Amino acid sequence: MKKAEKVAYIQNKLEELYPETPIPLNHTDEYTLLIGVLLSAQCTDERVNKTTPYLFDKAKTPHAMVKLSVEEIEDIIRPCGLSKAKSNAIYNLSHILIDQHQGKVPQSFEALEALPGVGHKTASVVTSQAFGIPAFPVDTHIHRLATRWKLTNGKNVEQTEKDLKRLFPENLWNKLHLQIIFYGREYCPARGHKVEHCMICSEMGAKG
């Protein structure tokens, strides 16, 4: 199967399986999405969704968040792991949003990536899911599937992102990001992967 045929098959299969792509992190606006994505680093979406109601009950805007102490934030988000670094990032980025962005989450990728605790992947998720600007956030899970499906031979997520952006139409990037994540969880896990139960791997001739 040629690469163009692979891409078409993957695109069609994912659309067939996941025509709707709800954002897995519960949020009410750009700010609560940003905080949820930041908390999801090395943590499951399920755990984040169990934790954020307690945080957002106390503070769901930058102005409310800076009224809490870093220690209060850390105590609430402890179940998400890396709580010391994440609480400092949440407190400091909230101050920056107030001081530099009128309390709003900026749409600019560069401005987002300049915020404490916001890396390339987090900025990409917020850009795409909060503002609908085309981006293709690649985490370790998407990197793993893209490699398994031989869509990239990139050694890191940065190269994989470039390869996927080149292969798939820009207007599909935001949706494909979520579709690949959903598919990986349901059919193509890192452990216990059974090729015969994975439609795309079976079609690609991929190994476990």
pLDDT at position 167: 95
pLDDT value at residue 206: 60
The residue from 6, 86, 139, 175 that is catalytic is 139
Q: Which two tokens stand for residue 54?
A: 């307690």
Alpha-carbon dihedral sign for residues 140, 146, 149, 153:
negative
The third-level CATH classification (topology) of the domain covering 30-131 is Endonuclease III; domain 1 (1.10.340)
Whole-angstrom distance, CA of residue 121 vs CA of residue 108? 14
pLDDT at 207 over 60: no
pLDDT average, residue stretch 134-161: 89
Distances from the Cα of 162 to the Cα of 138, 141, 155, angstroms: 10, 16, 12
Report d(CA 7, CA 117) in Å as an integer: 33
Distance CA 73, CA 12 (A): 43
Q: Tell me the pLDDT tens digit for each residue of 160-195.
A: 999 999 999 999 999 999 999 999 989 988 888 888
Instruction: Give the per-residue pLDDT at 62.
Output: 97
Identify whether 121 is a catalytic site residue: yes
Which fold is adopted by the domain 3-21+136-204?
Endonuclease Iii, domain 2 (1.10.1670)
Query: Taking the model in full, what pTM does it have?
Result: 0.86
Spatial CB neighbours of 112, under 8 Å, sequence gap ≥ 6? 34, 105, 106, 118, 122, 123, 126, 127
- Catalytic entry in 86, 121, 163, 175: 121
pLDDT tens across 10-46, in order?
999 999 999 999 999 999 999 999 999 999 988 889 9
Residue 45 annotated to the active site: no
pLDDT of residue 153: 86
Report yes or no: 52 and 35 within 8 Å, Cβ to Cβ: yes
Each residue's pLDDT tens digit, 51-109: 999 999 999 999 999 999 999 999 999 999 999 999 999 999 999 999 999 999 999 99
Locate the domains of the chain by residue range.
3-21+136-204, 30-131
Q: Are 3-21+136-204 and 30-131 equal in CATH topology?
A: no
Stated as kind and residue range, the H or E segment containing 133 is none
- 41 neighbors 199 (Cβ within 8 angstroms): no
pLDDT tens for residues 112-144?
Answer: 999 999 999 899 999 999 999 999 989 888 999
